[in-house]
């Protein structure tokens, strides 16, 4: 437990950062750009290497990597892009675990790998032809409506798929100047306007667990912020999100289990944007952030990594190759926990911790004052 009244947040951030960098260094395989997602995993995969880049970029540590290594890292990640524009690692895709559509698995991997390529000052080799049909008039609406009807009872998963489609369209716009792709993102948020619940600011089928709905909403909000689209009912969302905080200070399904890296991150992204963009509930959000900080450090392990929770369970990041222990640490858990801690520190101290980049990618933004903006082209 931490004493928030006297705690040195610079020291806390330094400890988190130092541990994460040590973990990444120790997880590298025979080449410094080859990674498994965790110590439990035995097969190096592209998404692991991409996540390592994203963590290093977030911690402003990429400049410490030799240029020749970064160039090889970039070429390695670029090699996984297929001619349809999506990325695919055959080892990773060999055995999926969640029953998701294959396109959705590839899309989710693709956006993270693409962002890692951007962090390495690279560009996509091929246009994302996969999204071209959805840029035609009326097509993205048809796709959204069908997806919504078939999957509204699993908003957490569906929101990921819609988010990923939005990111792919954004990448096509920014890397290749495709204005129709940007217009399709606008269509997505306009569609979402019509489906939003005015009492919560979330999207869900009534009867759905509100924590799952909160996670789903987090996937949608950054599309609004990045494209400058008015977001309705956001104050309601902040209020409902605050109400979901458990007695242990985290946002997991059960109190006392170490939270859930995804739900904790999702909640804090909503609350951080509420704190800095709305101005209301700042005191409540600050108190909530202190509670998160007070408990979240139980997730840091001796090797410097962070774990998802205290539950002793083997899990998969949608494929068998991306295996990790919920209480054992992984690259993605470490990344999400670092972002959550940084958001809490920024709320409590009114400034982001350093060193940490202040230019965040879509869905890794803290509040709209920072981050990616529509029209930011990749040359």
Helix H, strand E, coil C: the string for 70-100 is HHHHHHHHHCCECCCCCECCHHHHCCECCCC
Domain count of the fold of the chain? 1
Let me know: does 78 contact 69? Beta carbons within 8 Å.
Answer: no
Partners of 323 in beta bridges: 316
Rounded to whole angstroms, how far apart are CA atoms 267 and 84?
34
339 found inside a domain:
yes
CB neighbour list of residue 204: distance below 8 Å, 6 or more residues apart? 152, 155, 197, 210, 212, 213, 216
Measured over all CA atoms, what is the biggest interatomic distance in the chain, rounded to whole angstroms?
57
Q: Is residue 378 part of a domain?
A: no
- The pTM (predicted TM-score) of the whole model is 0.95
CA 6, distance to chain mean position in Å, is 31
Is 18 a domain residue?
yes
Contact 34, 44 (CB under 8 A): yes
Closest C-alpha to 201, from 171, 243, 231: 231
Q: Of 309, 307, 312, 273, nearest to 289 (Cα)?
A: 273
Structural domain of 212: 9-349
Whole-angstrom Cα distance, residue 1 to residue 342?
Answer: 18
Report d(CA 46, CA 135) in Å as an integer: 28
CATH code, domain carrying 20: 1.50.10
Q: How many whole angstroms from its chain centre is CA 278? A: 22
Is 270 within a domain? yes
- DSSP letter for 362, please: T
358 within a domain of the structure (yes/no): no
Residues 158, 152: contact at Cβ < 8 Å? Answer: yes
Q: CB–CB of 231/237 below 8 Å?
A: no
- Asked if residue 290 lies in contact with residue 348, where contact means CB atoms within 8 angstroms, the answer is yes
Helix axis angle for 155-176 and 179-195, nearest 10°, is 160
Distance CA 109, CA 105 (A): 6
Please give the radius of gyration of the chain, using alpha carbons only, rounded to the nearest integer.
20
360 belongs to a structural domain: no
Kindly state whether residue 39 falls inside one of the protein's structural domains: yes
pLDDT in tens, the chain (379 residues): 554 455 799 999 999 999 999 999 999 999 999 999 999 999 999 999 999 999 999 999 999 999 999 999 999 999 999 999 999 999 999 999 999 999 999 999 999 999 999 999 999 999 999 999 999 999 999 999 999 999 999 999 999 999 999 999 999 999 999 999 999 999 999 999 999 999 999 999 888 899 999 999 999 999 998 888 999 999 999 999 999 999 999 999 999 999 999 999 999 999 999 998 887 899 999 999 999 999 999 999 999 999 999 999 999 999 999 999 999 999 999 999 999 999 999 999 988 888 887 665 556 765 544 445 565 666 6
The three-class DSSP label of residue 315 is strand
Residue 368 lies in a domain: no
Q: Which helix or strand (DSSP H or E) is residue 136 part of?
A: none
């Amino acid at each position: 437990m931490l004493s928030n009244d006297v705690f040195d947040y610079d020291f806390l951030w330094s400890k988190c950062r130092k541990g994460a960098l040590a973990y990444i260094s120790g997880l590298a395989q025979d080449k410094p750009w080859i990674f498994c997602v965790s110590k439990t995993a035995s097969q190096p995969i592209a998404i692991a290497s991409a996540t390592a880049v994203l963590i290093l970029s977030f911690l402003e540590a990429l400049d410490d990597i030799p240029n020749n290594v970064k160039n090889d890292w970039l070429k390695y990640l670029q090699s996984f892009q297929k001619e349809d524009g999506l990325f695919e690692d055959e080892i990773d895709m060999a055995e999926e675990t969640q029953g998701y559509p294959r396109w959705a698995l590839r899309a989710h991997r693709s956006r993270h790998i693409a962002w890692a390529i951007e962090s390495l000052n690279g560009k996509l080799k091929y246009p994302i032809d996969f999204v071209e049909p959805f840029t035609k008039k009326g097509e993205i609406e048809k796709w959204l409506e069908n997806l919504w009807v078939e999957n509204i009872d699993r908003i957490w998963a569906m929101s990921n798929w819609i988010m990923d489609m939005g990111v792919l369209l954004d990448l096509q716009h920014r890397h290749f100047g495709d204005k129709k792709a940007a217009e399709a993102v606008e269509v997505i948020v306009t569609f979402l306007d019509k489906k939003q619940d005015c009492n919560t600011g979330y999207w869900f089928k009534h009867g759905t667990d509100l924590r799952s709905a909160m996670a789903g909403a987090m996937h949608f909000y950054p599309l609004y912020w990045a494209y400058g689209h008015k977001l309705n009912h956001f104050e309601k969302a902040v209020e409902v999100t605050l109400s979901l905080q458990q007695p242990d200070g985290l946002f997991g399904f059960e109190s006392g289990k170490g939270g859930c890296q995804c739900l904790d991150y999702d909640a804090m992204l909503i609350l951080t944007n509420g704190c800095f963009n709305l101005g209301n509930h700042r005191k409540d959000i600050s108190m909530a952030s202190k509670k998160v900080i007070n408990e979240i450090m139980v997730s840091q392990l001796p090797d410097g990594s962070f774990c998802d929770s205290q539950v002793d369970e083997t899990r998969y990041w949608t494929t068998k190759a991306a295996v990790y222990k919920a209480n054992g640490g992984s690259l993605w858990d470490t990344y999400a926990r670092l972002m959550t801690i940084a958001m809490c520190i920024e709320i409590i101290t009114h400034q982001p911790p350093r060193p940490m980049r202040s230019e965040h990618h879509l869905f890794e933004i803290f509040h709209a004052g920072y981050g990616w903006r529509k029209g930011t082209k990749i040359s």
